[in-house]
């Protein structure tokens, strides 16, 4: 997969504007431009049901960067200096030239082989975290305060009862609520932000809070609740500007666990009960905007991507969910999201336009069973991104672009952890559990993903499931297009043509 500027979106925008009769007329008219022609392949503008709506597409161009390392389960983050960090298994990869080149800046404190890495960049302090699972009982949490030039690290022992799995780390503002606020006020080395560390064990979800920036985690334990009794699998940690911390569990009904006292106690809420979620489809994710509105994103029982919103810091949620993905994308997984100002949100996911919905035969005539598709199936999965600039409106509009010019995966995407096999006896567990999306301080969207279809698979010379088992670390970021911060407006490219 090479670098793609997706320039046809800019061309189409001009065409659509011309067709609507707006060019050369009153430039002060801010009314929506009505598209009177069909959209180009790979571009969708939809309403809250996933169906076409006659609004002009956003003008967006994206830049592709090959990280050059295997990177299933990638994490991505950006520091205020402009450096991009990408977690490629045990390696912390860094690019400080807008993705033109990458280097491994891993410290020896975190050089452990693992299939369950996690990276995080604190957007307030610029501290870069690299977390590695060492065995089933211990993790190493490493951090850097100088853009990866030097690292410190400490182990976190989860105890003798397994497992220490599905590790996640995040950070956010202190709330000043609950017993942890008293503990923090007595600490001489209280860090500027609260750092959270969660993982699953057989008993459920365990979450801990650090007062010293992630060096130690002395407070916390098992999160108790109905949503935590499924073995503890969960998605990413998200902290809102008001300090509310969200954790999406993997359960059959869209559910959120959240804390308003820096992880001392947790509550749960249900939402979007009109579209259930089969647990095998992995986790969703929560985004929070600058006013602490929350957006929960998940894959529904029909394999579409859905959203429910909360405007009161997680206390109540819209019970009628909104479809984010177009109806043409009939099977999706790995949804990830970030938000900027209220209503301005971006979501990425892997999707297929030639698979079929759960409970119906796939293109091989076999029912979908959690293993997605058989190895002989030529189902193709691409990387998509969806923007909305009015996601809190009663009738939001979603602008979706198929980013990858060739498939990210051909055949199955295994979602059943360790029990997936192809028809020829090999493993199709190459993309693992998740991708990632975050924005920088300018509201520019960055997507980290693993590309399973490279080389002759991508060129079309051998585009088969057996040849789609790579996991190349890859990045797309918004080159030209709308910032998720309204005051910044439209962003321009980082790299000169």
CA 342 – CA 294 distance, rounded (Å): 9
| pLDDT band with cut points at 50, 70 and 90 for residue 277 | low
Q: Identify the pLDDT of residue 176.
A: 87
More confident residue, 460 or 484: 484
Does 17 have pLDDT greater than 80?
A: no
Does 356 have pLDDT greater than 60?
A: no
Q: Identify the pLDDT of residue 390.
A: 98
| pLDDT band with cut points at 50, 70 and 90 for residue 424 | low
Q: Identify the pLDDT of residue 414.
A: 78
Of the segments 111-125, 296-310, 434-448, which one has the largest average pLDDT value? 434-448
The mean pLDDT of 205-223, rounded to a whole number, is 91
42-97 pLDDT tens trace: 999 999 999 999 999 999 999 999 999 999 999 999 999 999 999 999 899 999 99
More confident residue, 423 or 351: 351
Does 283 have pLDDT greater than 80?
A: no
Q: Identify the pLDDT of residue 37.
A: 41
Q: For the chain, list the domains and their CATH numbers.
A: 8-491 (2.130.10.10)
Name which of 53-57, 110-114, 245-249, 320-324 the model is least confident about. 110-114
| pLDDT band with cut points at 50, 70 and 90 for residue 168 | very high
Percent of the chain past pLDDT 70, that is, above it, reads 79
83-99 pLDDT tens trace: 999 999 989 999 999 99
HEC-encoded secondary structure of the chain:
CCCCCCCHHHHHHHHHHHHHCCCCCCCCCCCCCCCCCCCCCCEEEECCCCCECCCCCCCCEEEEEEEEEECCCCCEEECCCCCEEEEECCEEEEECCCCCCCEECCCHHHCCCCCCCEEEECCCCCCEEEEEEECCCEEEEEEECCCCCCCEEEEEECCCCCCCEEEEEEEECCCCCCHHHHHHHCCCCCCCCEEEEEEEECCEEEEEEECCCCCCCCEEEECCCHHHCCCCCECCCEECCCCCEEECECCCCCEEEEECCCCCCCEEEECCCCCCCCHHHCCCEEEECCCCCEEEEEECCCCCEEEEEECCCCCCCCCCCEECCCCCCCEEEEEEEEECCCCCEEEEEEEECCCCCCCCECCCCCECCCCCCCCCCCCEEEEEEEEECCCCCCCCCEEEEECCCCCCEECCCCCCCCCCCCCCCCCCCCCCCCCEEEECCCCCEEEEEEECCCCHHHHCCCCCHHHCCCCEEEEEEEEEEECCCCCCCEECCCCCC
More confident residue, 283 or 325: 325
The mean pLDDT of 376-389, rounded to a whole number, is 88
The mean pLDDT of 298-313, rounded to a whole number, is 91
Does 19 have pLDDT greater than 90?
A: no
C-beta separation of 33 from 56 below 8 A:
yes
More confident residue, 245 or 161: 245
Q: Identify the pLDDT of residue 225.
A: 79
Q: Identify the pLDDT of residue 161.
A: 56
C-beta separation of 84 from 99 below 8 A:
yes
| pLDDT band with cut points at 50, 70 and 90 for residue 16 | very low
Q: Identify the pLDDT of residue 226.
A: 72
| pLDDT band with cut points at 50, 70 and 90 for residue 133 | confident
Listed residue (71, 66, 3, 12) closest to 40, CA to CA: 12
CA 232 – CA 285 distance, rounded (Å): 15
Of the segments 74-78, 162-166, 352-356, which one has the largest average pLDDT value? 74-78
| pLDDT band with cut points at 50, 70 and 90 for residue 111 | low
């Amino acid at each position: 997969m090479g670098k793609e500027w997706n320039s046809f979106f800019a061309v189409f925008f001009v065409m659509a504007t011309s067709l609507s009769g707006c060019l050369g007329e009153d430039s002060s008219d801010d009314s929506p431009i009505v598209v009177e022609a069909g959209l180009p392949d790979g571009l969708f503008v939809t309403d809250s049901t996933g169906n076409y709506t006659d609004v002009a597409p956003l003008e967006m161009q994206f830049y592709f960067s090959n990280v050059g390392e295997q990177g299933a389960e990638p994490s991505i983050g950006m520091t205020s200096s402009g450096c991009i960090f990408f977690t490629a298994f045990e390696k912390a990869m860094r690019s400080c030239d807008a993705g033109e080149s990458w280097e491994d800046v891993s410290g020896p404190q975190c050089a452990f082989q693992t299939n369950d890495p996690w990276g995080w960049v604190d957007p307030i302090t610029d501290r870069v975290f690299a977390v590695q699972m060492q065995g089933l009982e211990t993790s190493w949490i490493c951090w850097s305060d100088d853009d990866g030039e030097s690292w410190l690290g400490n182990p976190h022992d989860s105890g003798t009862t397994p497992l220490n799995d599905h590790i996640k780390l995040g950070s956010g503002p202190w709330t000043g609520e609950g017993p942890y606020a008293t503990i923090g006020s007595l600490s001489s080395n209280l860090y500027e932000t609260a750092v959270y560390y969660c993982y699953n064990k057989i008993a459920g979800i365990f979450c801990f809070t650090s007062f010293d920036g992630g060096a130690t985690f002395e407070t916390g334990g098992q999160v108790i609740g109905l949503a935590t009794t499924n073995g503890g699998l969960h998605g990413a940690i998200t902290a809102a500007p008001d300090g509310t911390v969200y954790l999406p569990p993997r359960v059959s009904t869209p559910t959120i666990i959240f804390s308003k006292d820096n992880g001392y106690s947790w509550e749960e809420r249900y939402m979007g009960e009109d579209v259930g979620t089969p647990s095998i489809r992995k986790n969703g994710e929560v985004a929070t905007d600058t006013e602490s509105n929350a957006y929960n994103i998940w894959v529904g029982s029909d394999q579409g991507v859905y959203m429910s919103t909360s405007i009161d810091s997680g206390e109540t949620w819209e019970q009628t969910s909104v479809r984010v993905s177009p109806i043409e994308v009939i099977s999706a997984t790995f949804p990830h999201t970030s938000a900027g100002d209220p209503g301005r949100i971006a979501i990425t996911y892997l999707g297929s336009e030639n698979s079929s919905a759960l409970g119906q035969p796939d293109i091989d005539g076999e029912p979908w069973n959690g293993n997605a598709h058989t190895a002989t199936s030529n189902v193709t999965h691409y990387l998509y991104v969806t923007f909305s600039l009015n996601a809190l409106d009663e009738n939001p509009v979603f602008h979706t672009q198929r980013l990858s010019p060739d498939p990210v995966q051909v055949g199955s995407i295994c979602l059943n952890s360790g029990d997936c096999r192809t028809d020829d006896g090999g493993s199709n567990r190459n993309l693992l559990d998740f991708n990632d999306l975050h924005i920088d301080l300018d509201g520019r969207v960055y997507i980290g993903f693993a590309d399973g279809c490279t080389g002759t698979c991508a060129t079309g010379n051998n585009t088969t499931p057996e040849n789609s088992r790579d996991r190349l670390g890859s990045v797309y970021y918004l080159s030209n297009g709308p910032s998720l911060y309204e005051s910044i407006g439209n962003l321009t490219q980082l790299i000169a043509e």
